[in-house]
A = this chain, B = another copy of it.
Amino acid sequence: MNVVQRISLAHGEGGELTHRLIRDVFIKAFGSNESKQLDAAFFNSPTKKMAVSTDSYVVKPIFFPGGNIGKLAISGTVNDLSVCGALPLIITVGFIIEEGFPLGDLKEVVQSMATEAETAGVKIIAGDTKVVEKGNADGLFINTTGIGLVRDEWRLNPDTVQEGDSVIVSGTIGDHGISILAARKELGLITEVASDCASLNRLIQELLHELDGIRLMRDPTRGGLATTLFELCEDFHFTVELEETSIPVRRDVHGACDILGFDPLYLANEGKVVMIVNAAQQQKALEILKRHPFGKDAEVIGSITSCKNPSGKLLLRTPIGTTRRLHRLSGLLLPRIC
């Protein structure tokens, strides 16, 4: 008989079962460190300027084509640090587990986290586990907090954005959003689109290492490419004009969006970066991106048409030649996307 081992509330009590869970699941996957018996983990900070980023992951479902909540929790935080020009070094992980969650699923998620951390070259050095009663959470939530080293030579500076700068996206948009939607099986959507969920730190480091004309970067996650760019326009007072026909969207993502009434510009991405680059370096940027598997579909999608402009806005030139104004995502599109 194959009995599924499940998380019980006692796994969160700080007693014997918590001890075993930490030893048999977390330390087994993440490894141990010198300060494992302390309440805090020590690490050396190699320079004076550091960056920190925190995110909770509540994606539903927990497993989806292209990844799971664990891979997403690592790569998401790695990417948040990377787009700020920081070198991700360490990550802490906090689990909130619903009573009854299958232990096998937890092990699979934790193993994905260990694998993704190794791929990205970051160390998981501290963790915490809480268990709540059945019905008081939805399977598994994960918080990751990442700490990175800010390298002065990688300093991004939005103030250097100029009229004529290019806007580049590293690949097709909306893949994560559509894959999550399909994995939910609610809308009868059948597709082969997998989430783009990936750690982009090495790709981003190559760009920052080889080019000095990258003004600004973001990972267009919740709210999608449009919300991300809208917020840049608003925060830094410039206008972006996008060319709709240049924006890479997979044919099947387009098809799914048409059927379901979604706009790929507002769908979440988990393995893409959008950046503003000195136009003189756009070709070089594309070359660097395209030699990397995560950047092979990169495109120049627009440009900066005005800057130092308090009424900065995001515009989209459509295939028929009209221009429409895009805004921040408003209201509800797709909850629990990351």
A residues neighboring B (CB under 8 Å): 8-10, 12-19, 35, 37-58, 79-81, 83-84, 86, 90, 92-96, 125-128, 130-133, 135-138, 141, 143, 145-148, 150, 218-219, 221-223, 227, 231, 235-236, 268, 327-336
Contact = CB atoms under 8 A, between A and B. Distances in A.
A10 B131 CA distance: 26
B16 A328 contact: yes
A17 B53 CA distance: 21
Contacts of A150: 42
Contact of A53 (B39, B53, B223): B39
B52 A14 contact: no
B335 A13 contact: yes
Main secondary structure of the interface of A (DSSP, over half): mixed
A332 B14 CA distance: 10
A333 B137 contact: no
Contacts of A92: 52-54, 145
A41 B52 contact: yes
A333 B13 contact: yes
A329 B15 CA distance: 4
14 contacts: A10-B331, A13-B331, A15-B223, A16-B327, A37-B231, A38-B84, A39-B79, A39-B81, A40-B52, A41-B53, A52-B126, A55-B128, A131-B335, A136-B138
Contacts of A94: 54-56, 94, 143, 145
Contacts of A35: 51, 84
Given A39-B53, A54-B127, 20 more contacts: A10-B331, A13-B331, A13-B333, A14-B221, A15-B328, A15-B329, A15-B330, A16-B329, A17-B331, A39-B80, A39-B84, A40-B146, A41-B51, A42-B52, A45-B47, A45-B49, A52-B145, A56-B143, A133-B335, A137-B138
A40 B316 CA distance: 28
B223 A13 contact: yes
Nearest to A336: B132
Contact of A13 (B132, B145, B222): B222
B329 A13 contact: yes
A79 to B, nearest CB: 8
Contacts of A130: 56-58, 141, 336
Contacts of A86: 40, 42
Nearest to A332: B10
A54 B14 contact: no
A261 B52 CA distance: 44
Given A126-B52, A328-B15, A336 B83 contact: no
A119 to B, nearest CB: 20
